[in-house]
Structure 1
């Protein structure tokens, strides 16, 4: 049934006959399952579809909007945000609260859900809840490792335990943000390559890898820590305790120092803070220091990517998040540096491009990952708890 729904959702207009042909199910079976989806208000029969063909016109099936939702909660710094995401659309409502003394991420999340959301949406229309964090989620040890969350005494272990009982009426999934962003890229831009890597430049640098179409290590962020690959062992101290990590070398906080190190004049040096977008724009307009800094940053990233390519040999590497703001020149410099430092036999067959989605795509990615991986039409599981 889920496969049928996904086909209807992706096509946004398909007939029962075509569904039977694609799924190799009998027309009777398809019609029975389709009727159940219609009864559950997941899809709608839009009537006769437009067609130039002669003969009987088939009815067109489309996913229903404004009927079913997944709540996606995001914890960032001292903020808890909750979004209501339509399973056939996008975010339709959001609320946020700031962490105050005596509160926890879970207590804030409960307020967001119970006070703000369930008072506005039919609780029966909520299929589940996703909690998305920028962190390494270790399902084996029940731990969260994060340099951006205020976890308090007991750290991530207590948090996972409390979260597993926080919303007993709904299935809950704890997911990592880069994995959700990467899943959105895979689904909504219809990535054709089965082996690809998604690099997210957000609060840190995360990576999600797909092998034969499947996400490596699920959506937990526990398999790769790409941002903590050291490109310069004698480089600046990273928040993780090591030196010269890609995440430390590539952070926006390091841009001004790198511009100064170039020894070239720049229109950006008078600014208190410099963003990737500022740097990319200055390089586009031929700022000498900006161009030089972009070249050095591109080489650092190429060093890390060349090792990734040698290990998993991806057909495609996608750069998402704030890194996209560095622009076309940066992408070209990374490609050029890869040819200098990488194993050419593999590098030549690995494509490189920016993400086609904005960084808030993780909301839809989390919803879709939960729906595809954990939601069951036949056996809803209230109280179930999933990691990754």
Structure 2
């Protein structure tokens, strides 16, 4: 039985990955380490809470003793490091936390993996460390062109700078010590269980409750949208068969301007919830500092080497996502209480 140590496995992408893997494989065990910050939610994992193959541990990836103990206790074969502070707005407000978790935490995970897997002058067979990164490390594109794995790193926000730094440490551990690693860099994910500070769930929740829909700048910033289950499939394939030391870009070829996304959500909720939901709810707000204009990923490498392609078009994925949030009102109500509302007022209502 192969053992995966999944960090950040109660968050959006992490919990989707845990559910995907436990559904796909019978012969794996997942040790799920999550600090349970505001974005981590055990409710995401309710369907597997009694599954003996899923072991949840509340801990911080920066905690050397806790992480080392997990490697020793469970003889970890594969690390999938999702754990990260991930919201650009929060990084602008408090960059230090992003350095502590995204850089320091990653280095701690790498050190623990290196120590646990060392054997003679190299490492035990069958081990791998996979770092889940982001296309934001590449910076911003013009109207044409795509990010490839050879695009120079040029991060523009404290968040993307911290992720780029983490990626460089991952490669340094590979080049210096020979640690078996891969890095995946994905485009914007969407789907079930995403915390509503991100664009799509935020707009769904606000539109449903007839609150203003805050749109940065002119709304024409373009992102490549990737349905979360397609991303989970890609991570699984890289963990299984990715070439040692390689980076794989994971993109959906679903580029859309932010304002297009917002209007699509308005239209869908007008049909499903209330015809009074319309574009008068849109409120253009002061643009985010250092807001990258466009991201676009070329996933040719992962397609050619591993046979991965995105299976979910944006038109299908957004409908599935909207349906999920409308069917899970109580989940949304619980995650948008308390501290989230204080954050929301600071980020949007006063701009």
TM-score normalised per structure 1: 0.30
Larger Cα Rg: Structure 1 or Structure 2?
1
